[in-house]
Structure 1
Amino acid sequence: MPSAPETSAAIVVSGLAKTYGTADKQVRAVDGIDFQVAPGSVTALLGGNGAGKTTTIAMLLGLLKPSAGSIHILGTDMLRDRHHILPRLNFSSPYVDLPHRLTVRQNLKVFAGLYAVPQAAARIEQLAEELNFAALLDRPAGALSAGQKTRVALAKALINQPDMLLLDEPTASLDPDTADWVRSLLEKYRQERGITILLASHNMGEVERLCDQVLMMKEGRIVDRGSAPDLIDRYGRRNLEEVFLDIARGQGKAAALEGAPA
């Protein structure tokens, strides 16, 4: 198996780029980014729509082939040997629906089979109790509410007890109570298993609560990074949302930081 760079990081990304289009007209969705994620940490990938967050996550998962650069996850070169590490990863997004005609139990059984989860039936029952949807197991997935779908999606993401979670807007469209429940669940799971989490989110309060590191993206590049308190202090703002707006609008310190070395 190809070896990772000399580092203890859970994720190492170097020179990662993704270009779409033809030779005559190209769009660079991700433009040569570099970052590392420490084991057991929670890192946020932030940016406006079209900043390159989802494309980056898709490349980390091996769903998209990069145009350039390298990705190492948990010591594995994702471009050469991703099948070795995929059983230790999982992903969740409210924008990816489970098959509507299958019941919740049937959907989870399919994913348990894909991950070769031992004693799958018992694992599904355990998750249904922990995530409070046991009464929904035999209901068609298409008949669930947004909050119920989120619980089931999280069960799908945890079915294989992953060492790393990649989350795209994990609390989008949820009411405040359900969203808080999801964040508490993620905090608990991280504390119990020491997993590494990379999440894309537009909820700045969520990021301030959950994340150790923030990567700010704009137009396919990482334009700033640091902990939420460090970024708030650096920009002289009251909260991370104001920092986000500065960067999105190219105001204040953000304009000078764009293109700065990592």
Structure 2
Amino acid sequence: MNIEDTIPRKSPASASDPAASAAIDVAHLVKVYKATRAVDDVSFRIARGSITGLLGGNGAGKTTTIAMIMGLVLPTSGRIHVLGFPMPEESAEVLGRMNFESPYVDMPMRLTVRQNLTIFGRLYAVRNLADRIDRLVADLDLRDFIDRANGKLSAGQKTRVALAKALINEPELLLLDEPTASLDPDTADWVRQHLENYRKSHNATILLASHNMLEVERLCDRVIIMKRGKIEDDDSPDRIMARYNRDTLEEVFLDVARGRTRESAT
């Protein structure tokens, strides 16, 4: 018996509690930096097994919201539950079951892909780590550069490696920040297809922050639009586009960014 199996685990809130049944439950979240309210009374609940897009222009509060969900930034006020546990108070119960991916966060450049995945796998205490890396190498087509230094990879190769790192612990919750930024259309489509397959095969929950509106329309069951730290709209892509009488989310995004209301956009 593994010694970890003998350690008592805390249980999340009761199943009758909405916070326990949601992958992410955020209530009245506020983050103030000096005189700036980066996040201003934000509340939402994300169902398990769903893909939700978090949209907004630069400075809308998306990155700060994700950082608070991950426990990296402390909220000024409000409440966060992730996978049924309060964050950051019980982050130890959650962090091994979630992961984050962004093309803007580089792994050590002088280490090989295999070395990087091994280090992150050990940090997450992944069992049968060598087998898990071999599986990711096959799934994400890393074989040609698995033993190449990360600093010598192309943008598309780095994105696949970043995705492998994000999936190393087979997370229940995956937080993505612009996962296909700077990729050619073929590679971007490949990454999106893999994310869809992973969500379906693992019943995983994905929170996606992206400026690629076509990507959001394709992947997301639901869209949360933020502006100046507040939630401007929250619904399925189709219903949001219908409310603004627009054919694409990009047109809706521009309406919100430029201050056009639903009524004036019709």
Query: Into which bin does the TM-score normalised by the smaller protein fall?
Result: over 0.9
Give CA-to-partner distance per residue, 1:14-70, whole Å, 9 cap, x none: 01111112xxxx111111100010110000000001101011111111111111111
- Among 114, 118, 121, the residue aligned to 2:127: 118
Helix, strand or coil at the partner of 1:80: coil
CA distance in 2, matches of 1:199, 1:254: 28
- Among 9, 15, 31, the residue aligned to 1:18: 31
Shift of 1:79: 2.5
> One-letter code of the match for 1:35?
F
Distance of aligned partners of 1:254 and 1:102 in 2 relative to their CA distance in 1, 3 Å threshold: farther
> One-letter code of the match for 2:48?
P
Distance of aligned partners of 1:255 and 1:48 in 2 relative to their CA distance in 1, 3 Å threshold: farther
Match of 1:252 in 2: 261
CA distance in 2, matches of 1:170, 1:60: 18
> One-letter code of the match for 1:246?
D
> One-letter code of the match for 1:191?
K
Helix, strand or coil at the partner of 1:79: coil
Helix, strand or coil at the partner of 1:251: coil
Shift of 1:205: 0.5
Shift of 1:228: 0.2
Match of 1:259 in 2: none
> One-letter code of the match for 2:38?
A
Shift of 1:255: 8.3
Match of 2:238 in 1: 229
CA distance in 2, matches of 1:15, 1:157: 28
> One-letter code of the match for 2:17?
E
Shift of 1:254: 7.6
Give CA-to-partner distance per residue, 1:171-213, whole Å, 9 cap, x none: 0010000000000000101111110000100011111111011
CA-atom RMSD, angstroms? Answer: 1.5
Matched, 1:6 2:17: yes
Matched, 1:87 2:93: no
Shift of 1:80: 1.1
Shift of 1:137: 1.1
Aligned counterparts, 1:45-124, within 5 A: 45-124=54-133
Give CA-to-partner distance per residue, 1:120-139, whole Å, 9 cap, x none: 11111110111001121111
Q: Are 1:13 and 1:36, in contact at CA under 8 Å, matched by a contact in 2?
A: yes
- Among 194, 208, 233, the residue aligned to 1:199: 208
- The farther-off stretch of 153-162 and 1-10 is 1-10
- The farther-off stretch of 30-39 and 5-14 is 5-14
Give CA-to-partner distance per residue, 1:78-100, whole Å, 9 cap, x none: 12101111100000000000000
Q: Are 1:247 and 1:255, in contact at CA under 8 Å, matched by a contact in 2?
A: no
Aligned counterparts, 1:114-193, within 5 A: 114-193=123-202
CA distance in 2, matches of 1:74, 1:15: 18
Helix, strand or coil at the partner of 1:28: strand
Match of 1:260 in 2: none
Identity of matched residues, %: 60
Q: TM-score, normalised by structure 1?
A: 0.93
Q: TM-score, normalised by structure 2?
A: 0.92
* Ranges in structure 1 where 5+ consecutive residues have no aligned partner: 257-262
Helix, strand or coil at the partner of 2:26: strand
> One-letter code of the match for 1:6?
D
Shift of 1:161: 0.5
CA distance in 1, matches of 2:263, 2:109: 43
* Ranges in structure 2 where 5+ consecutive residues have no aligned partner: 1-9
CA distance in 2, matches of 1:42, 1:183: 12
CA distance in 1, matches of 2:65, 2:203: 23
